[in-house]
Structure 1
């Protein structure tokens, strides 16, 4: 990618958490214009309301639906790279047929997460890591398995599923309900790990969670008495795009942002997220507000 002047990046998620990655890339490339032209396409792989991936009955079904979306991403947009800005879909991706045949570079956010968790645990040998995510992400155990394979001791690693939190954050990241859910889930997690004052790295392994970072901070400050650090893999994925383009530099990058979705995106959700990102990423904010809704974007058979 670093040899090209013009690039097309498709980012995908099963909701709007990955919009934060798109916004971050826009911000980075405006500050560091290392490509002449950049097309950013955010492709929502959520097929329709009430049919989210975490509600699907099996990994096979999740892979079937995501496979259909991936085929369209490649065929319709011819991307130089696909960024799976979603931990749930990063878990599903290796099970898709697309993953076995594509020539397009595909990066999942889980690898960025395990890299930063591993690096921070190496820096503090007595610290522990709390990995937060959806039911699919935590149930897969993929972060813990990868970290153990990197040499991290299993007893230093804990996972905590936070069911439905991503949906509530998408609707209103700082609502009283979100604050209560985060407080309750973190309280449960600290009891489950029998927390005794160790430094704890808290990894936000759902791309939605960063929108509510301040809420996590408030709860963690009381539970961990200041002995914590929040890790957000979104930041590492964002930085990888700029670090991959070498020494090139233009006066400015011409950036185009597009948001496409098969599912209807609620107006309040779009406003809530666009208001958060607008100051730093106006193009992404505008693209989200004025998104393209295409009910035929990719094939989806609703189960009865």
Structure 2
């Protein structure tokens, strides 16, 4: 059955909402962990603590919505989601953000949309057209070039923090792709909730052990609660539903906007400057995303013709 245009449109809107929420993650994480010169919370505490807070909220939500227990075959994919977006991405990115600025982190994480699309295409057995991959590659290149230009003299060097960010990117791509697949048979909000519950027995003791003993600035605590409630929980409600409705391959390209939104949010949060370079590259990426969403995507299990423009996938 071909995905309907209105479902794709709603998927893109929900995906964009999720990206807006996630765009604050890097600036807020940086604010929570501080810098090497002025440290705040440890990256391990931020990662485990945010997942613990979100898991408690998830338990309440699952009870209120009377969520049925996942079927036996769903627990393994839920475990993969937990490893990707409950453990891997928060841990690796939180540790890395102590040592790199948000702008530099966007250099590495700028390839996340392409990674997510690749995972989605493999999981859904889709074959995006050459035009789609050209748009995805061009958009990713624009993000990387922009971030390199903004990084100044620091350049693009693979240091320890960069390798952690690459691992975080890989974890997020897998977690997004598998979560989107699960969201086709489970409620999207229940997917992230069950994944958080799976991770609670490990995250809770780690969070308690890593709880900061020194004084922490109030703004760091506000940042922590943002990444716990929004980045780790509510953002996935919109994101997984958007991926399920519009198709992982296509909706994932909306993530190309995330680094630029992060820059906008970083102005009041971290004191970064918004200039003509940011606006110019942002408009270029918006154009590429718009063109990319019109490209056909073929289901490799079907002998039918490729889906027309705006048709994200077949199922």
Greater relative contact order (Cα < 8 A, sep 6+): 2
TM-score normalised by L of structure 2? 0.28
TM-score normalised to structure 1 length = 0.29
Structure with higher helix content: 2
